[in-house]
Structure 1
Amino acid sequence: MSLRGADWLARSIAQSGQSHVFFIDAVLRPTLMALEERGVQPVLAHSEKGAAYMADGYARLSDRPGIVAAQSVGAANLAAALQDAYLGRVPMIAMTGRKPPSAQHRNAYQEVPHTPLFAPVTKWGTAVEAASDLPRLFRQGWAAATTAPPRPVHLDLNGLMGEVVEQGASGAEPADLSGWTAPRHRPVADAAEIEKVAARLRDAGRIVILAGDGAALSGCGAEVLAVAEALQAPVATSLGARDMLPSRHRLCVGVAGSYSAPPANKVVHQAELLLMIGCDGGDQVTHGWRLPHPGAAVIQIDADALELDRLPAELSLHGDPRGTLKLLLEALGQPQRDAGFAQEAARLMADWRSGMAPRLTNNEAPIDPARLCAEISAALPQDGVLVADTGYSGIWTGTLVDFNGSGQRYLRAAGSLGWAFPAALGAKCAAGDRKVVCFSGDGALYYHLTELETAKRRGIAVTLVVNNNRGFGQGWPNLVRAAGNRPEVAATLLRFGEHTDFCALARGFGLHSIRVERPEQIGPALREAMAADETVLVEVMTGIDHRAPEPWTPEASE
């Protein structure tokens, strides 16, 4: 007997290894009930953005498509929420309902043509008119989401809640797509082109490797380090690739670009040849396209053909970074390389760390977020996951939290403020027993405070660290200067009230919370929170005048 669309969808999602799906009612109700019967947990969120960010975090940690659904009236909100996943190269399947064709263009209640809203933030999308179309189009969407570059796809289902597709006959057996994880295919570059790159690298002067989000997705940390060792080349990363290398490795100089500590940009700027591995060349990682030095040669390795030659490249290799780097290592052999430049880069890094050391042990209050980062580095388990928001949260954690380059993971917002907390909940759904720590500013947490209720109801355990400086700290000094050095004027635009008690709010949702007002309290609070089997909010009272590391910027003449 042919399966109904709802049964086909539920069985296929379950057989494909998904543990959770995320949604806002009212959509796909029969499917969601059938999923729960098969052990897949439907997670009801409090907004379409919250649901999408949960699916995003789930996908980033599992490499499986995050599945999110909303009814027609919420489709516009859901589309807006996919921007971060699109920019972050995250596989997702977003499903929406829409009223049937007979209700279109007739001022139907809550209905607008929402499909165009998904075009800028999805890789592929289509309408699913009948249940018989669902097996083919769902499979195609899953494939599109997981092939390089992985990104969201959109399936627009016939029926306000998708009921036309759910109730019809699918005419197909359930699909098992469990082997289709991102990146699904790993083609390697042409052997002759790899030989050309190897020859160029053997003869080059100061080489710097810049590994980006595509390299992190490929999981090529070991190969990057092996190439770096062979070439005696310092390695900088994008913010999204922060966790792929051991932070304390002698060749690692940290995050390059706008969210950088000074040494990385200095080292990249000194390169005679920049080897870009899975790195997009956008304005953030190049600090507004001021890196590398205009005279530097560029060689690129990327699985995404559209990323090749955005910066003028001398040579480019189209292939999965991990597989291509393995062949490049063989082609390089054991070149004789001068280690002087790598040693100089290591000294720059050591000097900067030495200068920052007093802040990492700062015992003053309000608490310096640098001290908070040091305590997170010490407390994060060997397989722990740190989820960070955008803005100052990304800068603090990207420059001052150390990672082991193996079991630990770092997930960061690609630019959407408020992303981190719901994303951390989704990541925990994929993490199993691994500990998940969320680093959020107070301004970011205000976006999705209601998901504390979701954490409690679904029993999702994350350590939610709130860096509470009672305002938007990143732009604070600039606004104070613009206001004529009158903080009381600037405060009307960037400061929050002093009466919000995040700990009390957490308790109101039935969760445990810990308020930290002294630096020596941070470590014990983190360990207590991580030991719990539920979400614990750790509110850390920091100062808005504490400045995160600032990137080094080359002079215009350099």
Structure 2
Amino acid sequence: MSATVATQLVASLAQHGVRRVFGVPSESFTTLLDALYTAEDPEFVAARHEGGAAFMAEAHATASDRVGVVLGGRAVGAANLSIGVHTARENSTPLLVLVGQLDSRHRGREGFQETDVAAFLGPVAKHAVEESDPRRVPAAVDRALTLARTGRPGPVVLSLPEDVLDHSTSAPPAAPRTLTRPAPSPEDVTALRRLLLGSQRPVVIAGAGVKHSRAEDELVTFAEAWEVPVLAAWRRHDVFPNEHPRYAGHLQMGTHPALVETVREADLVVALGARLNEITTQGYTAPAEAQRIVQVDIEPGQLGKTYPVELGVHADAGCTLRAVGKPGEWRDPGWAEQRHATYRRVTTVEPAEHADRVDNRQIIRALRAELPADAVITNDAGNFAGWLHTFFRFPRARTYVGAASGAMGYALPAAIGAKLALPDRTVVSVSGDGGFLMTVQELETAVRLGAPIVSLVFNNNMYGSIRMHQERRYPGRVIGSGLGNPDLVELAHAFGAFGARVRADAEFPAVLRTALAACRPAVIEIVTDPAQISVWATIDQLREGTA
């Protein structure tokens, strides 16, 4: 029996293991929605905003290790979900972005919500195309799903005019193709081993390439054999177990100077599936350009893109680690032990309880103590995240879902996407008040779906990171960063979620336990001191120039 383009597309998604399609319904793709209604798989998840839907799809893909799919309509829907496309590109997440376009007969005639979707989203996507010939849509779907997963994964945009979806097609569903992962050449392996054997203070900066290769265990074996400390690239916390004696810390905004010294003192920096972007390199200062750098990346265009490299290896991270093998000789563990000891010294929080105030360090310490080891953390952008990035320890792989793009509003919808992918795992989102209220409407989505996530909201009534930059550059001249917030506890109740407020860190463990036991979405507002603007500075210190 002949299928329609819409039913063939849905069957292709099912063949690729897609369990959910996220989006906001639109008249641009009612035919596709009807095909989803009929199919057993995938399920359509309606969000309250396309930006939230895109964040859910991106996080669902990360947590499930499959292609994420988000559906948006025409110009408005495409514009709203563009933040998720950018996030998927920065995170190297395989994401299929389906945009329902207006009827192809009306293109170029100022049709309702007409825009060139491929031209609009192309600059932030891995690939973007519009296909208006129904005979070519099945091939376009197959190519889009393949492109999203191959090489450096990323978002692929496929714009489909609404009139093509009803057309008949005899094309079979697109089956997933076997992915090939490039292995390093024998010459590259020999060169890399020579550089490692000749170094006294090597360091690995591990990035998304390790995670996408699922090579976390191989990295542990490598670090132990070669006695090399491992630093996590920006927002790749779980790439290496944080309690392991070869872990040396996370390169973030405001990294403690003692951890940055691990990079600056190294005589060989191995960027393993890491892009060496601005944040990871502390504004391109660590490493210095004069340092010896090896870069291993599955995308050849990344090699030497931000730094000149002594050796560029176009290869999959896991294949490279296995090919390099063990050193075959004794390696001095002193350097690696020293760097791990430094990490523990500057990131360990001694237990304390305050009945009169919130110390964010104690909140993070208690959060780690109360959660199971396999709990998944998602987080927003903002200065509040500095405490999480510095003091929370991720003991296992696949326990963090974050946005390397630094997008505000990510944490709550990402937690929903992660929870749907991993229903048996505890999922906690961590936000500031600014980011939380950007996508708070998705709390209704969590309640409707029965997704029992816990959202921590550090509330200082401001855009904290912006305030910090203002105080640093223009002390006392504050504009636009102060906020007025609703009662977040009552807001949670209005959505049908559990809500509680913490005014002292001594209260937090019991409140968290209650929220986890509530078996429904929960919001915990944590009232924080606005004066403590970052992990390492107060507003007064910034104004006085002492921080």
Q: Same fold (TM over 0.5)?
A: yes
Distance 1:421 1:168 in 2: 38
Change (3 A) 1:224 1:157: same
Change (3 A) 1:437 1:42: same
Q: 2:116 aligned with 1:130, yes or no?
A: no
Question: In the alignment, which residue of structure 1 is the partner of 2:513?
Answer: 527
Is the 1:215–1:322 Cα contact (8 Å) retained in structure 2?
A: yes
Is the 2:382–2:464 Cα contact (8 Å) retained in structure 1?
A: no
The SS at the match of 1:289 is coil
Distance 2:417 2:148 in 1: 18
Question: In the alignment, which residue of structure 1 is the partner of 2:3?
Answer: 3
Q: 2:206 aligned with 1:211, yes or no?
A: yes
Change (3 A) 1:68 1:484: closer
Question: In the alignment, which residue of structure 1 is the partner of 2:462?
Answer: 471
Q: 2:146 aligned with 1:143, yes or no?
A: yes
Distance 2:151 2:355 in 1: 47
| CA-CA distance at 1:508 after TM superposition | 0.8
Is the 2:281–2:287 Cα contact (8 Å) retained in structure 1?
A: yes
* Matching residue's letter, 1:87: E
Is the deviation greater in 140-149 or in 237-246? 237-246
Equivalent of 1:193 in 188, 191, 198 = 188
* Matching residue's letter, 1:506: A
Equivalent of 2:110 in 94, 107, 110 = 107
Q: 2:326 aligned with 1:325, yes or no?
A: no
Question: In the alignment, which residue of structure 1 is the partner of 2:545?
Answer: none
Percent of paired sites with the same residue: 28
Question: In the alignment, which residue of structure 1 is the partner of 2:21?
Answer: 21
| CA-CA distance at 1:285 after TM superposition | 0.5
Within 5 Å, give how 1:543-558 maps onto structure 2.
Answer: 543-549=529-535
Change (3 A) 1:263 1:251: farther
Is the 2:62–2:401 Cα contact (8 Å) retained in structure 1?
A: no
Is the 1:260–1:549 Cα contact (8 Å) retained in structure 2?
A: no
| CA-CA distance at 1:347 after TM superposition | 3.2
* Matching residue's letter, 1:201: L
Equivalent of 1:297 in 292, 305, 308 = 292
Distance 1:90 1:414 in 2: 12
Is the 2:380–2:403 Cα contact (8 Å) retained in structure 1?
A: yes
Change (3 A) 1:186 1:400: same
Change (3 A) 1:132 1:294: closer
Question: In the alignment, which residue of structure 1 is the partner of 2:522?
Answer: 536
Distance 1:123 1:294 in 2: 29
Change (3 A) 1:103 1:380: same
The SS at the match of 1:94 is strand
The SS at the match of 2:141 is helix
Distance 2:368 2:152 in 1: 31
Distance 2:373 2:174 in 1: 36
Equivalent of 1:248 in 226, 243, 246 = 243
The SS at the match of 1:493 is coil
The SS at the match of 2:328 is coil
Question: In the alignment, which residue of structure 2 is the partner of 1:30?
Answer: 31
Show CA shifts across 1:424-476 (max 9, x none): 11111211211111001110011111111111122222111111111122243
Within 5 Å, give how 1:462-501 maps onto structure 2.
Answer: 462-480=453-471, 484-485=475-476, 490=478, 493-497=480-484, 500-501=486-487
Show CA shifts across 1:116-135 (max 9, x none): 11111111122221332222
* Matching residue's letter, 1:450: Q
| CA-CA distance at 1:43 after TM superposition | 1.2
| CA-CA distance at 1:413 after TM superposition | 4.7
Question: In the alignment, which residue of structure 1 is the partner of 2:417?
Answer: 426
| CA-CA distance at 1:247 after TM superposition | 1.1
* Matching residue's letter, 2:464: G
Distance 1:318 1:505 in 2: 50
Distance 2:210 2:365 in 1: 26
Is the 2:382–2:463 Cα contact (8 Å) retained in structure 1?
A: no
Is the 1:239–1:259 Cα contact (8 Å) retained in structure 2?
A: no
Is the 1:19–1:429 Cα contact (8 Å) retained in structure 2?
A: no
| CA-CA distance at 1:525 after TM superposition | 2.1
Equivalent of 1:340 in 331, 334, 338 = 334
Within 5 Å, give how 1:75-114 maps onto structure 2.
Answer: 75-114=78-117
Change (3 A) 1:284 1:194: same
The SS at the match of 2:374 is coil
Change (3 A) 1:471 1:326: same
The SS at the match of 1:448 is coil
Task: Count residues with an aligned counterpart.
Answer: 533
Question: In the alignment, which residue of structure 1 is the partner of 2:544?
Answer: none
Question: In the alignment, which residue of structure 1 is the partner of 2:66?
Answer: 64
| CA-CA distance at 1:290 after TM superposition | 0.3
The SS at the match of 1:43 is strand
Distance 1:324 1:484 in 2: 49
The SS at the match of 1:275 is strand
Distance 2:417 2:344 in 1: 36
| CA-CA distance at 1:281 after TM superposition | 1.4
Is the 1:259–1:284 Cα contact (8 Å) retained in structure 2?
A: no
Distance 1:484 1:309 in 2: 38
* Matching residue's letter, 2:173: P
| CA-CA distance at 1:366 after TM superposition | 3.5
Distance 2:474 2:302 in 1: 41
Change (3 A) 1:293 1:113: closer
Change (3 A) 1:410 1:73: closer
Is the 2:498–2:518 Cα contact (8 Å) retained in structure 1?
A: no
Equivalent of 1:315 in 311, 314, 318 = 311
Change (3 A) 1:53 1:407: closer
TM-score between the two structures when normalised by the length of structure 1:
0.90
Question: In the alignment, which residue of structure 1 is the partner of 2:54?
Answer: 52
* Matching residue's letter, 2:506: E
Distance 2:92 2:425 in 1: 23
Distance 1:226 1:408 in 2: 20
Q: 2:257 aligned with 1:262, yes or no?
A: yes
Is the 1:219–1:322 Cα contact (8 Å) retained in structure 2?
A: yes
The SS at the match of 2:139 is helix
Show CA shifts across 1:356-415 (max 9, x none): x25x63515441222221122112222211001123244222211111134633434522
Is the deviation greater in 339-348 or in 243-252? 339-348
Question: In the alignment, which residue of structure 2 is the partner of 1:556?
Answer: none
* Matching residue's letter, 2:171: A
Is the 2:374–2:396 Cα contact (8 Å) retained in structure 1?
A: no
TM-score between the two structures when normalised by the length of structure 2:
0.92
